[in-house]
A and B are shown apart, each in its own frame.
Chain A
């Protein structure tokens, strides 16, 4: 394998509390050394990272890549290439594929096909219940053996709290992490926007923040009862942050992530009936956005994810409530994180930790750090380079982003996965 020297970059590695100009030495697909040149190291390739930032590759906790099942929308090939160009070296795949990731064969198929695409690594998340119906447990242990890193019921409800309790007990028995997206479907009542002044003005079916906080509170109680490790996915409300803060202080083994766009957009930013803004959870208020940012800065919210959901044009073509939800968001992940830093919501080190160290810890993966011996998953980016979101720069097959046409700062120049350059 190629020996690679990444020289003269600003190395930021939150795991090792490292932030200074230096070089990274890569051999045999692994990190050989940071700053100190190993004896007899001869680089086959040198990457000049002058004026650039070198950090661990990003780990994205929530993506949908539309394969298997909906390859007209996106494919492993298109989306892992987009991820590689965005500095993402590992991404978790939500189990609501077609078919659902509730059988060993599906998990293995996904790993095989993703590997063939040759870019970003894909880690499937197993369905918590069979067919995600919320009734019977999936074969969690077999799914774990097939490479699934966690269990989740994605956006589907679990029939009742007894089923959820048992699923959590079973997951805990096998040290499986539950990824839980808190949403009480009864309270959500098929809503499509936040319940507040916007839903009132436009007569749109609405989701109160209590739909999230009630589900979250119930799951916190069950986390204590069952001892299951729980990671809350894509929280969106101020009161969820408060509840998480209390639970962590109390000592529960819980963590949470927020979708990057929730840290930037609110109901006030939405263009009337523009389906590009149709997401779940919905964009809420300025107060919620501020609390999510504070939660990220204080560590109550651990990670940032893309919550990538590419769509074809037809999926977003219709009256707002009838359009499909989600944003194609891999490629805006880094620039929007850097925007948070520019707006002084978080430090650059916090932002990088939320995309590397923290998700690696939650998934118990040996990555997300530039520790010698770890796989050489790295991202090199120019924090000042400007680029516009347009068809010339966009790689994902899904063009569904409310940021289309906007200009951002921060562009990835190189991405390495296990010592292999997957983007440059």
Chain B
């Protein structure tokens, strides 16, 4: 597929935020810098910034989510936007037609931005393509394709902890095949120029020709963690066992679970990340998740500043157009 610039306007500014692919390093840094300026607003007595006053944002969640939806909501409110969250239960028969109808109906109510989470890869692209020209679409996760705001908050957390990306070796561990977080993280890390992205998983949880995404591959967590600065653990869904991708949770933990002992193989100052929600004792030991090297809760807090930055930038293009 050719690279796409659906998410940029004619001046190269962010219009939609659908995927990390096709965005350059300067733009990613701009997002991180703007987010940094928002950090600390939560500590102030008055938490609101009037950047998006009078704007209407609709969170459209076709898939369940607590953290992502909440942080998007808080981010929008802190920017003084009017925000409405809708959880839309999808039946298996619901088709693009009804998806489009939903969007058209909401557009008719003069919505300025949609934040969309959907279970099908490409859903956010589809909505962005068919949305009215003055409407921005932010992808809050589509199928197994992309979760770019999660990737940016991960990058933000890494920069906060490590300062620079240049010499970092980052391990992404677990179910890469089904993970939109992994795909967006890998693209962001490579765009920001880390030394190495290493994926660690059994073959059943790795997509075909994964090395074409610019990663090295390991099937062994013990060997794979050597020289690693950042460990991104992925959530293992229960249904992977019934699909014959893995024998059992306990065997997975034995081979790919992050324990205190294994963590010692990585660099002593390595940080441990996880997009949540975590399965304690499946992909990560409780002691590690709650340990001193874990930055999992920091990721959650950073989610608000990053989402504020992305929403502000996407909305800015509208006013400058």
Contact = CB atoms under 8 A, between A and B. Distances in A.
Nearest to B118: A319
Interface stretch (B155-163, B208-216, B289-297): B208-216
B96 interface: yes
B1 A198 contact: yes
Nearest to B99: A318
B259 interface: no
A159 interface: no
Given A201-B1, A203-B144, A204-B122, A322 B212 contact: no
A393 B220 CA distance: 58
B122 A273 contact: yes
Given A199-B207, A200-B213, A267-B1, A273 B125 contact: yes
A317 B121 CA distance: 14
Contact of A197 (B21, B96, B100, B212): B212
A318 B118 CA distance: 12
A317 B145 contact: no
Contact of B95 (A196, A272, A320, A322): A322
Given A317-B100, A319-B120, A319-B123, A200 B4 contact: no
Interface centre among B21, B121, B180 (most CB of A within 10 A): B121
A321 interface: yes
Interface in A284-320: 314, 317-320
Nearest to A321: B120
A237 to B, nearest CB: 14
Interface residues of A, number: 27
B239 interface: no
B209 A196 contact: yes
B2 interface: yes
Interface residues of B, number: 29
Contact of A314 (B97, B145, B180, B209): B97
A271 B120 contact: no
Contacts of B212: 197, 200-201
B125 A201 contact: no
A239 B4 CA distance: 32
A318 B125 contact: no
A203 B100 contact: no
Interface in A261-275: 267-268, 270-273
B21 A201 contact: yes
A272 B1 CA distance: 5
Given A203-B180, A204-B145, A322 B100 contact: no
A323 interface: yes
B228 interface: no
Interface in B99-156: 99-100, 118, 120-123, 125-126, 142-146
A383 interface: no
A202 interface: yes
Contacts of A202: 1, 121-122, 145
Interface string A243-272: 000000000000000000000000110111
Given A196-B208, A200-B208, A273-B125, A318 B1 contact: no
Contact of A320 (B122, B207, B210, B213): B122
B183 interface: yes
B183 A322 contact: no
A80 B296 CA distance: 62
Shortest 4 CB-CB distances between A and B: which pairs? A318-B96, A203-B144, A273-B122, A200-B207
12 contacts: A196-B208, A196-B209, A201-B1, A201-B183, A203-B121, A203-B144, A203-B146, A204-B144, A273-B125, A273-B126, A317-B96, A317-B100
Given A205-B121, A319-B123, A320-B126, 19 more contacts: A200-B208, A202-B121, A202-B122, A202-B145, A203-B144, A203-B180, A204-B144, A206-B207, A270-B2, A272-B122, A272-B125, A273-B125, A317-B97, A317-B100, A318-B100, A319-B142, A320-B120, A320-B121, A321-B120
